């Protein structure tokens, strides 16, 4: 087979065979197909799309490019969650210890930031010495010991995805249903789970901007999971506003610590986290219903068991627990910039995409594969959509060591927040539920 012919075939919107997909992925992994041809291949998929059969073959190939973990020796139901990514989406940090402290095993393999969205691994690595690079043997041992683990892809798990994931981030080939589906499901199906709950984001700060696109992605993911004999369901949740208040790796960890300690109430963040957690407990058989699961999750937040489990995760994965117990110990950014409102009114819109892009400019994300992240940099919102604001009141605060970007970021954030004279309601946060049969439910 000829890589150029395969690229041309897909560029011209023709269907690829399983053999052609296998050839291209194998060639890339064996370094017989260079990155510029893989970039071209990804772009041809991006514009010409793949059908359901092609998407399944791509997922299957990426899954079997490495090992599939066997966790059958662990005498608990194994359930994980995955989010398609958003601005301020930090649910995993709270969710994993919360669900694990309710008796479900949570083998979580996460990714790094993609484009304007943050990544769970980057957030975890902002904790000094936290090790997300465990071997598969250690991965299994940690789950056996504490019932939860949070790592990145090992070299054995879906190596094709690991390389392609990083390339998509810097070649503007992220927002494609087939590529997203294959990337997510090849990792999740390899990690040893029994069931999976998906959080598919929709709106300005999501990769899928429209509700219909998000539903199509959710259906694709759910269908692949259930075809592979893993009970899979999905929610469509809004990313038209920042989730929670903090955007930026350590700042998001701090917000999660405070939620786990039950020190603050971040209503939108916890609404999504409890819903996902309740569903995981239902799929895992330790809750009679999603509502019962939510109640159990709320209990372990209130009694401190979820926070204790988080400390266990940090300690077991070699993180410095003293930074969790004393968050003021963490290094501070050189510059702390405050943005104030120029008018009285109500917040009617926050462009979360602009907030995410602004976070990259101040060092909280990557523009190139090898960019170093400044873990302490980031943005803290002071208001949510629907809140009242007075002239001169604090809107946003951001933290950075990069003085050269401060003025442009200040302007971008100002432009991202719309203030109107009349009161406005926040948009619905949870929009739909996609069940195992890919039915779309608006009441659940």
On whether residue 61 sits in a domain, the answer given is no
Question: Under a CB-based contact definition with an 8 Å cutoff, are residues 436 and 376 in contact?
Answer: no
On whether residue 58 sits in a domain, the answer given is no
On whether residue 74 sits in a domain, the answer given is no
Could you tell me if 129 and 40 lie in one domain?
Answer: no
Could you tell me if 84 and 34 lie in one domain?
Answer: no
Question: Under a CB-based contact definition with an 8 Å cutoff, are residues 283 and 263 in contact?
Answer: no
Could you tell me if 92 and 203 lie in one domain?
Answer: yes
* The pLDDT value given to residue 425: 83
Could you tell me if 93 and 7 lie in one domain?
Answer: no
Centroid of chain to Cα 325: 25
Query: What is the Cα Rg of the chain in Å?
Result: 21
The Cα–Cα gap between 403 and 292 comes to 49
Could you tell me if 13 and 119 lie in one domain?
Answer: no
The catalytic residue among 168, 223, 366, 431 is 168
On whether residue 73 sits in a domain, the answer given is no
Number of Cβ atoms within 10 Å of the Cβ of 22: 18
| Helix, strand or coil, per DSSP, at residue 302 | helix
* The pLDDT value given to residue 7: 98
Could you tell me if 204 and 86 lie in one domain?
Answer: yes
* Known catalytic residue at 390: no
Question: Under a CB-based contact definition with an 8 Å cutoff, are residues 377 and 335 in contact?
Answer: no
The catalytic residue among 40, 178, 183, 214 is 183
On whether residue 53 sits in a domain, the answer given is no
Q: What is the CATH number of the domain that holds 133?
A: 3.40.1030.10
* DSSP 8-class letter at 81: E
Residue in 345, 414, 416 with CA at minimum distance from that of residue 386: 345
* Phi and psi angles of residue 93, each rounded to the nearest 5 degrees, phi first: -65, -35
- Taking only the tens place, the pLDDT of each residue in 92-146 is 999 999 999 999 999 998 877 766 777 899 999 999 999 999 999 999 999 999 9
On whether residue 71 sits in a domain, the answer given is no
On whether residue 164 sits in a domain, the answer given is yes
Full-model pTM: 0.91
* The pLDDT value given to residue 119: 87
* The pLDDT value given to residue 427: 82
Q: What is the CATH number of the domain that holds 27?
A: 1.20.970.10
Could you tell me if 150 and 11 lie in one domain?
Answer: no
Could you tell me if 348 and 317 lie in one domain?
Answer: no
Structural domain total, the chain:
3
* Known catalytic residue at 82: yes
The Cα–Cα gap between 50 and 9 comes to 12
* The pLDDT value given to residue 324: 98
Its domain, for residue 40, covers: 3-48
Number of DSSP helices (H) and strands (E) in the chain, helices first: 17, 14
Torsion from C-alpha of 270, 196, 168, 18, nearest 10 degrees: -160
* Phi and psi angles of residue 431, each rounded to the nearest 5 degrees, phi first: -100, -30
Could you tell me if 117 and 199 lie in one domain?
Answer: yes
On whether residue 62 sits in a domain, the answer given is no
Could you tell me if 98 and 221 lie in one domain?
Answer: yes
Q: What is the CATH number of the domain that holds 414?
A: 3.90.1170.30
- Identify the H or E element spanning 124: helix 120-125
CA atoms within 13 A on the CB side of 73: 9
Counting as low any pLDDT under 70, the low residues of the chain are: 114-115, 368-369
The Cα–Cα gap between 208 and 142 comes to 35
* The pLDDT value given to residue 296: 98
Residue in 191, 166, 179 with CA at minimum distance from that of residue 96: 191
Exposure of 285 by Cβ count < 10 A (0-12 exposed, 13-18 middle, 19+ buried)? middle
Question: Under a CB-based contact definition with an 8 Å cutoff, are residues 402 and 363 in contact?
Answer: yes
Could you tell me if 308 and 394 lie in one domain?
Answer: no
Question: Under a CB-based contact definition with an 8 Å cutoff, are residues 359 and 95 in contact?
Answer: no
The Cα–Cα gap between 286 and 288 comes to 7
Token pair for 61: 């190939």
Could you tell me if 113 and 163 lie in one domain?
Answer: yes
* The pLDDT value given to residue 85: 86
């Amino acid at each position: 087979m000829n890589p150029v012919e395969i690229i041309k075939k897909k560029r011209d919107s023709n269907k690829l065979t399983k053999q052609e997909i296998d050839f291209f992925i194998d060639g890339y992994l064996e370094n017989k197909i260079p990155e510029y041809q893989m970039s071209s291949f990804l772009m041809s998929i991006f514009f010409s799309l793949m059908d359901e059969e092609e998407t399944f073959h791509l997922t299957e190939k990426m899954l079997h490019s490495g090992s599939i973990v066997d966790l059958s020796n662990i005498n608990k139901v194994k359930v994980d969650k995955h989010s398609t990514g958003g601005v301020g989406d930090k649910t995993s940090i709270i969710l994993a210890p919360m669900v694990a402290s309710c008796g479900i095993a949570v083998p979580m393999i996460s990714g790094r930031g993609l484009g304007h969205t943050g990544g769970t691994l980057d957030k975890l690595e902002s904790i000094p010495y936290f090790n997300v690079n465990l071997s598969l043997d250690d991965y299994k041992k940690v789950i056996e010991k504490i019932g939860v683990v949070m790592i990145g892809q090992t070299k054995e798990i879906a190596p094709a995805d690991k390389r392609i994931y990083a390339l998509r981030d810097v070649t503007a080939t992220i927002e494609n249903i087939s590529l997203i589906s294959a990337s997510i499901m090849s990792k999740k199906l390899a990690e040893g789970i029994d069931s999976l709950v998906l959080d598919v984001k929709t709106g300005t700060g999501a990769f899928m901007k429209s509700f219909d696109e998000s539903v199509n992605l959710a259906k694709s993911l759910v269908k692949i999971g259930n075809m592979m004999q893993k009970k899979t369901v999905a929610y469509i949740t809004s990313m038209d506003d920042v989730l929670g208040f903090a955007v930026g790796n350590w700042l998001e960890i701090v917000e999660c610590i405070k939620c786990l300690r039950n020190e603050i109430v971040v209503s939108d963040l916890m609404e999504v986290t409890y819903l996902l957690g309740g569903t995981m407990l239902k799929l895992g058989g330790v809750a009679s219903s999603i509502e019962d699961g939510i109640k159990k999750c709320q209990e372990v937040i209130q009694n401190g068991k979820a926070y204790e489990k988080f400390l266990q995760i940090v300690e077991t994965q070699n993180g410095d627990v003293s930074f969790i117990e004393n968050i003021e110990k963490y290094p501070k950014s050189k510059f702390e910039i405050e943005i104030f409102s120029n008018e009285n009114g109500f917040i009617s819109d926050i462009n979360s995409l602009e907030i995410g892009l602004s976070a990259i400019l101040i060092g909280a994300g990557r523009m190139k594969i090898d960019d170093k992240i400044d873990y302490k940099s980031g943005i803290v919102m002071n208001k949510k959509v629907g809140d009242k604001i007075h002239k001169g009141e604090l809107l946003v605060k951001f933290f950075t060591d990069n003085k050269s970007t401060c003025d442009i970021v200040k302007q971008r954030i100002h432009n991202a927040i719309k203030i109107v004279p009349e009161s406005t309601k926040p948009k619905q946060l949870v929009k739909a539920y996609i069940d195992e049969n890919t039915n779309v439910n608006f009441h659940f």
